[in-house]
């Protein structure tokens, strides 16, 4: 597999990054198959829920309310969590969060750490940082184990190894666990992973987790998962460090009622996820005895400050948008050059990067609207995509290279033409004349230069008709007079 870059600062622009994927039929088959399975299950479970739209409305209202009052709810969470024996730390950016976590691990004299359900840690590139500091880091979510042992990158936010099929998993496990006779029977593969994991769970006393929700009212943390490996990771260690984006907070415990009904159905097409872990601070004699929460900003308050873009932070990371996205179905996640792929990644990544990187992502969409329709918290992703596109164009207006790009030049000229019908009609005439050079006897254009070539590489274009509609109308009006 070719090198995959998920750091937006170094990743290729989307149109280039998709090329190796589009030339990899096995990968595309794996992605489309996995997506179709999830979508079929989701479709059934959404239809059976007669109050689906009301649930979406409630969830959207809860999440919007949180974002309008984020500071207050975070302080309430900090107060409650601290009162229950937890310690809350605030990290302004990735670097601060990494240093904080390393410092906490050093206090524990940890040389090894187990991890569960924390995409946010991938956002801040925690693993390579801890490894460079001399720690051994072990992922414990099944998909994450596959990726870590196979030295692969995640391509989805809920099923991060969806681009890897069973026989590829067998190969990775056989090679890395030294199990020559391993078959690709799912039961055998699960057993192999279980054996590998039990040793980690029983011997490593320090864990890092993510959070699906933080509850302000009670100071609790919620993690949802399918395997139970999270439950082990959250209960067995002596010390637990939870890393969470500041947007993850919910006002009340009761709000979970709405969120959990939507989350599992949207994410994996299940009525309820198998394991929902909820804990509040520290309980003597039960579970981790030292508990830290690291609250991460890393660009989030900047998103919060922009009213049109704020809705991006409503996201509960269910991946319904990428499962519904016809672009993602073709490309999988790697081409997005970020740990957050798909439609939500296309709006979140450039914003987290303060629009300095990943500027090609807002354009990686046909604006079909399937993501908005699927989103359980009603993020109008197309609206944010358009807003970001306009910001990117405003950046590019200042670049001479961009100014001369044929597509951009064409759009500027078109704008002039559309201001005056006479100019527009003259351009139609010129276009008809110019395109006649490329029109074959059958009346179709099979090849065009420049931007047009991007069209004709897979599609023909019908030659321009001799008479435009407005000419026909004018001629008819003259006749009937």
Partner 1 sequence: MRASLFITCYNDTLYPETGRAVVRLLEKLGVELDFLPRQTCCGQMHANTGFRAEAYSQAKRFVRLYRDAESVVIPSSSCVAMIRDQYPGLFQELGNEALRQELAVLLPRVFELSEFLIDRLGVEDVGAYFPHRVVYHASCHGVRALHLGDRPYRLLAKVRGLELATLPNVDRCCGFGGTFSVKNAEVSSAMLAVKLQDIVSTGAEYCTALDNSCLMHLGGAMHRQYAGMKTLHLAQILASTEEAQAEAAQ
List the interface residues with partner 1, window 20-79 (CB under 8 A).
Answer: 22
CA–CA distance, 46 with 24 (Å, rounded to integer): 33
| 3-state SS, residue 253 | coil
Task: Scan residues 149-188 and list those touching partner 1 (CB under 8 A).
Answer: none
Q: Which stretch binds partner 1 (CB under 8 A): 44-52, 123-131, 339-347, 471-479?
A: 471-479
3-state secondary structure of 239: strand
- Comparison of 266 and 365: residue with beta carbon closer to partner 1: 365
Segment interacting with partner 1, rule: CB under 8 A, options 106-114, 238-246, 277-285, 391-399:
391-399
We find the least distance from the C-beta atom of residue 407 to partner 1, in angstroms, to be 7
Shortest Å distance, C-beta 459 to partner 1 = 3
Closest CA to 241 of 139, 373, 114: 114
DSSP 437: T
CB of 447 to partner 1, least distance (A): 11
Q: Are 68 and 314 in contact (CB under 8 A)?
A: no
Determine which residue in the list 10, 458, 479, 481 makes contact with partner 1, applying CB under 8 A.
Answer: 458
Q: How far is the CB of 165 from partner 1 (least distance, A)?
A: 20
- The answer to whether 331 contacts partner 1 (rule: CB under 8 A) is yes
Q: Does 409 bind partner 1 (CB under 8 A)?
A: no
Cα distance between residue 333 and residue 338, in whole Å: 8
DSSP lists the bridge partners of residue 439 as 445
- Rule CB under 8 A: choose which of 469, 478, 480, 481 binds partner 1: 469
Q: Three-state DSSP class for 290?
A: strand
Alpha helices per DSSP H over 326-458: 326-331, 342-352, 370-374, 381-396, 400-403, 406-419, 421-436, 450-456
Using alpha carbons, select from 319, 383, 377, 313 the residue that is nearest to residue 57: 377
Given 180, 441, 459, 478, the residue binding partner 1 (CB under 8 A): 459
d(CA 122, CA 242): 13
Interface mask (CB under 8 A) for partner 1, residues 368-387, using x and -? xxx-xx---------x--x-
Q: Cβ closer to partner 1: 79 or 444?
A: 444
Residue 461 is encoded by which pair of tokens? 């274009």
Residues at the site binding partner 1, with contacts judged by CB under 8 A: 14-15, 18-19, 22, 326-327, 329-331, 362-370, 372-373, 383, 386, 389-394, 407, 411-412, 414-415, 417-421, 424, 428, 431, 444, 446, 451, 454-455, 457-462, 464-465, 467-474
């Amino acid at each position: 597999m070719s090198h995959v870059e998920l750091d937006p600062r170094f990743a290729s622009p989307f149109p280039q990054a998709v090329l190796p994927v589009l030339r990899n039929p096995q990968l595309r088959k794996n992605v489309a198959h996995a997506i179709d399975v999830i979508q079929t299950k989701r479709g059934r479970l959404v239809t059976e829920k007669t109050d689906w739209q009301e649930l979406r409305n409630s969830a959207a209202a809860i999440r919007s309310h949180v974002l309008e009052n984020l500071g207050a709810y975070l302080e309430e969470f900090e107060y409650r969590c601290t009162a229950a024996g937890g310690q809350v730390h605030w990290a302004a950016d990735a670097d601060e969060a990494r240093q904080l976590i390393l410092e906490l691990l050093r206090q524990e004299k940890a040389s090894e750490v187990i991890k569960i359900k924390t995409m946010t840690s991938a956002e801040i590139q925690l693993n390579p940082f801890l490894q460079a500091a001399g720690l051994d880091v072990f992922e414990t979510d099944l998909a994450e184990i596959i990726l870590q042992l196979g030295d692969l990158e995640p391509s989805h936010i809920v099923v991060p190894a969806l681009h890897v099929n069973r026989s590829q998993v067998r190969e990775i496990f056989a090679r890395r666990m030294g199990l020559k006779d391993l078959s690709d029977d799912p039961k055998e593969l699960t057993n192999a992973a279980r054996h590998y994991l039990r040793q980690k769970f029983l011997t490593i006393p320090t864990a890092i987790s993510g959070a699906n929700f933080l509850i302000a009212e009670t100071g609790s943390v919620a993690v949802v998962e399918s395997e139970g490996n999270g439950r082990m990771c959250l209960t067995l260690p002596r010390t637990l460090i939870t890393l969470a984006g500041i947007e993850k907070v919910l006002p009340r415990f009761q709000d979970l009622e709405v969120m959990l009904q939507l989350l599992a159905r949207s994410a994996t097409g299940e009525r309820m996820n198998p394991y929902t872990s909820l804990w509040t601070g520290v309980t003597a004699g039960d579970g981790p005895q030292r508990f830290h929460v690291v609250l991460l900003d890393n660009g989030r308050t900047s998103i919060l400050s922009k009213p049109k873009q704020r809705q991006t932070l409503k996201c509960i990371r269910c991946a319904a948008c990428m499962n519904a996205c016809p672009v993602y179905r073709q490309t999988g996640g790697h081409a997005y050059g970020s740990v957050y792929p798909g439609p939500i990644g296309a709006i979140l990544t450039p914003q987290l990067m303060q629009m300095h990187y990943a500027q090609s992502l807002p354009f990686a969409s046909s604006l079909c609207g399937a993501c908005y329709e699927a989103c359980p918290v009603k993020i109008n992703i197309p609206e944010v995509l358009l807003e970001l596109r306009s910001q990117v164009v405003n950046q590019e207006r200042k670049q001479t290279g961009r100014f001369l790009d044929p597509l951009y030049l064409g759009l500027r000229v078109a704008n002039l033409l559309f201001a005056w019908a006479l100019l527009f009609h003259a351009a139609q005439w010129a276009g008809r004349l110019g395109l006649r050079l490329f029109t074959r006897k059958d009346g179709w254009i099979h090849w065009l230069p420049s931007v047009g070539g991007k069209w004709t590489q897979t599609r023909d274009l019908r030659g321009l008709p001799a008479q435009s509609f407005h000419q026909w109308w004018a001629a008819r009006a003259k006749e009937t007079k």
